[in-house]
Structure 1
Amino acid sequence: MSAMLRRRTALKAFGAAPLALMAGGGAMAAAEPRSVVDGIEIFHLKVNQRGNWVIVRLRAANGLTGLGDAGHAEDEVTIRYLRQFAELWRGRSVFEIEPFRRAVADIVRTGGDSAAVAASALEQALWDLAGKALGVPVYQLFGGKLRDTIPLYANINRSTVPRTPEGFAKMASAAIADGFRAIKLAPFDAIPMGETDRAKIARLTDEGIACAQAVRDTIGPDNDLLIDVHSRFNLADGLKLAERFEPLKLYWLEEVTPAEPLSDLAAINHAAKMPTAGGESITTVEGFYDYIRAGTVDIVMPDIKFCGGLSQLRKIAGIAEGAGLPVSPHGPASPVGNAAAAHVVATLPNFTILEYAYGEVPWRADLLDPPERIGRGELILTDRPGFGIELNERTAARYSI
């Protein structure tokens, strides 16, 4: 038998289609030549005083659309990156997700958070498009789901006004009444980053702890309390804070000190008598490897909008799993961001609970078609293709900036 015939026999034995897929996704593009990126729409929506939502919708030449969440404090800069990256990928297959990530990697590396958020949003939209093109939910593309519903905690920080013990307690009570069994707040946001006035720090620390105590008193001992410190303390003050929170029986204490140096977070983690969590602002897999290796937290919190999207979140979860740590993705996001994250965490054995921005706007669920489904503090997955959602254009138009 000639060498060519032996090669053809081997190809037939292994199956030509899988080999073609291994070659870079060309078989998928050939099977559906119109599954290519054809355009982008950006929806900038007014939410509240804490921020807005930016939703990206990628169009394919076959008429399908994919959604991604690009909400970020620097919306205008993020929108410029969205247009730049989408134009770069015009005419490329919706299945070429890893090539897209690598094509924009250098820009993301130098462009800061806005570039990272834009790249993550488009990566989300490509996965949504890929699932729709293949007629399967995105979680099937990651090996299948391990759960039908996604446990949520209610982050009441962005919706609470006034930010007083009474205000936080009222919002926590509403969330519990709506079926949530875990509540998060960030009661130290009034402390400026890097504040050195000792009297001011002491006063605002006492006020923050009073807010947390009011929420604990409201939700009782059978529901979980999560505290996000937003890196407002130095190591010495952070260690004292952890001690003061011991009576409140926290589910976790999140990001007490800034991420650098990692040794400060590791010291807090070692000393605290409650679990610690963090990692929301890390934008690379390598960064999470260092973060986990340093022993900074008990619970790892990648944010799908910052870490690179669905595929990168899965890689980070794998690193955490290897270290024996659970993951709880950060994300006080739009319903699009929650849908994207849900399709990843549905497949993760070390997933615990997903963040949900509670009470921001009454029209949240109606931004999607079908509407976002939350029941008993859980997001209910759909078996529809992609993320299982489309944008409700009437709602989006009504609240566009």
Structure 2
Amino acid sequence: MRITSAQAWWVQIPIETDKQHVSDFGRLRTFDAAILRLETDDGLVGWGEAKNAAGSAGTYGTLVHLLNHEFGPKIIGRDPADITWIWEDLYNGVRAEKARVAGHVMPELARRGMTIAAISAIDIALWDILGKADGKPVWQLLGGRKSDQMRAYASGGWADKDNIGNQLQSYIDQGGFDGVKMRVGAMDGTPYRSAERVIAARKALGPDVDLMVDAHGTFNVADAKRFAYLVRDCDLAWFEEPVTGDDKTGMAEVREASHVPISAGESEATRFDFRDLIVGRCADILQPDPACCGGITEAMRIGTLASSFNLRLAPHLWAGAPCFFAGLQVCAASPASFTVEFSLGANPMIHELSKNPVEVQGGMIAIPEAPGIGLDMNEAAISKFAIKG
């Protein structure tokens, strides 16, 4: 079996006006991603996704070009089952053969960003093909699953202090969630305003619902510590990205100053970035995004690191369908995983691209049984929403 074609598109799906929200990213009017299709000489098709922006909007022309004209051509003719070696070869580039012989990485200079995002899309699609070729879900190829369903939490929460309780409660009512996440940070202007909203949310929800907060890395260290102190009685399940990932020393300082668990990693690439989070004692919960951390292969490596240090894994899955389904496979197979992020803000990139409903019932999401990543791709949606150019 050999790879015969690689085609990527910048897919941009409009968000209905009444479902748009405003955050530190501004008003999000579209959901964007780079979607990749690989095909083999046996006619098998694998789907992948790459992201160069942590949020749901971004400019993807350059990343799509990288996939179509640089990385895609490099894997034509390769055996799609050689997943690890394709990953390492793309990462090490012109030094790939030397790295294989030496037994350690020798990456080209582009070790982060779009390069790893492109590898991520290819890796997810390769796992999808391998599962379909064997007639097995990816979680089975990864060593099996720990459950046929997993706890999910509702991810959203942009309303003001007077409406945040009702917004989060509406999430609970939709899917029976017992955990919800809301946004804080730069969108509120000050730590005090963020704290007001969180205190209002906890008061509305009561003590039995896990409440998480996500600052998208927009506080500085001092303000993150101020915020954590102001919400000290809210029993937060975690404080996500309190400061930018570029300030890992500062993140460790926030963690040391507060009793709230720190989660981070949605903007990090490769196991090496997560190694630094761990060694620096920056986080309690690791959140790799399969579409930008290096795909399923690297997310599983990161999960192994989490397990080795008795930390937990909760992948960042505010994404399109290929990334989300890849994340489900990782969560099912990783001993360190414990919850699945489920978008309750408008996310047409999941729902439009999957022919089958993607839903949570009773606070739980089913792990797919279908071969590959479990996604029945709606190719008509790709044709409809792909940016021509």
The question of a shared fold, defined as TM-score above 0.5 by the shorter chain, is answered with yes
TM-score category, normalised to shorter length: 0.7 to 0.9
Q: Partners in 2 of 1:321 and 1:300 — Cα distance?
A: 10
Tell me if structure 2 keeps the 8 A contact 1:69–1:337. yes
Tell me if structure 2 keeps the 8 A contact 1:54–1:69. yes
Residue 82 (str. 1) matches residue 67 (str. 2): yes
| Matched letter for residue 233 of structure 1 | F
CA displacement at 1:362 relative to structure 2: 6.1
Tell me if structure 2 keeps the 8 A contact 1:78–1:114. yes
2:179 aligned residue: 182
Q: Partners in 1 of 2:151 and 2:267 — Cα distance?
A: 22
- Larger mean CA deviation between 85-94 and 256-265 belongs to 256-265
Gaps of 5+ in 1: 1-32, 192-202
TM-score (norm 2): 0.84
1:116 aligned residue: 116
| Matched letter for residue 368 of structure 1 | S
Compared CA separation, residues 377 and 55, structure 1 to 2 (3 A): farther
1:142 aligned residue: 142
Q: How does 1:141-290 map to 2 (within 5 A)?
A: 141-157=141-157, 160=158, 163-178=159-174, 179-190=176-187, 204-290=190-276
1:337 aligned residue: 323
1:197 aligned residue: none
Give the alignment's Cα RMSD to 1 decimal.
Answer: 2.2
Tell me if structure 2 keeps the 8 A contact 1:116–1:308. yes
Tell me if structure 2 keeps the 8 A contact 1:56–1:122. yes
Residue 307 (str. 1) matches residue 280 (str. 2): no
Tell me if structure 2 keeps the 8 A contact 1:253–1:275. yes
Superposed CA deviations along residues 64-98 of structure 1, whole A, max 9, x for unmatched, are 11111224323112211221211211121111212
Tell me if structure 1 keeps the 8 A contact 2:245–2:268. no
Give me the identity figure in percent.
27
CA displacement at 1:43 relative to structure 2: 5.4
Tell me if structure 1 keeps the 8 A contact 2:192–2:230. no
Residue 63 (str. 1) matches residue 43 (str. 2): yes
Superposed CA deviations along residues 330-382 of structure 1, whole A, max 9, x for unmatched, are 22112221110111110111211122221314684352133324322322122
CA displacement at 1:287 relative to structure 2: 1.9
CA displacement at 1:41 relative to structure 2: 4.4
CA displacement at 1:39 relative to structure 2: 3.2
| Matched letter for residue 311 of structure 2 | L
Tell me if structure 1 keeps the 8 A contact 2:13–2:32. yes
2:98 aligned residue: none
Tell me if structure 2 keeps the 8 A contact 1:137–1:386. yes
Tell me if structure 1 keeps the 8 A contact 2:165–2:200. yes
| Matched letter for residue 44 of structure 1 | V
CA displacement at 1:398 relative to structure 2: 4.0
Q: Partners in 1 of 2:67 and 2:386 — Cα distance?
A: 17
Tell me if structure 2 keeps the 8 A contact 1:45–1:396. no
Compared CA separation, residues 260 and 40, structure 1 to 2 (3 A): closer
- Bigger share in helix: 1
Compared CA separation, residues 308 and 280, structure 1 to 2 (3 A): same
Tell me if structure 2 keeps the 8 A contact 1:67–1:390. no
Residue 97 (str. 1) matches residue 93 (str. 2): no
Tell me if structure 2 keeps the 8 A contact 1:152–1:355. yes
TM-score (norm 1): 0.81
| Matched letter for residue 354 of structure 2 | L
CA displacement at 1:167 relative to structure 2: 5.0
Q: Give the counterpart of 1:52 among 32, 35, 60.
A: 32
Q: Partners in 2 of 1:133 and 1:273 — Cα distance?
A: 47
1:38 aligned residue: 5
Compared CA separation, residues 151 and 306, structure 1 to 2 (3 A): same
Q: Partners in 1 of 2:132 and 2:309 — Cα distance?
A: 34
Q: Paired residues, what number?
A: 353
Tell me which structure has the larger Cα radius of gyration: 1
Q: Partners in 2 of 1:299 and 1:111 — Cα distance?
A: 23
CA displacement at 1:321 relative to structure 2: 1.1
- What secondary structure is seen at the aligned counterpart in 2 of 1:110? coil
Residue 392 (str. 1) matches residue 378 (str. 2): yes
CA displacement at 1:47 relative to structure 2: 4.1
CA displacement at 1:57 relative to structure 2: 1.7
Compared CA separation, residues 276 and 347, structure 1 to 2 (3 A): same
1:354 aligned residue: 340
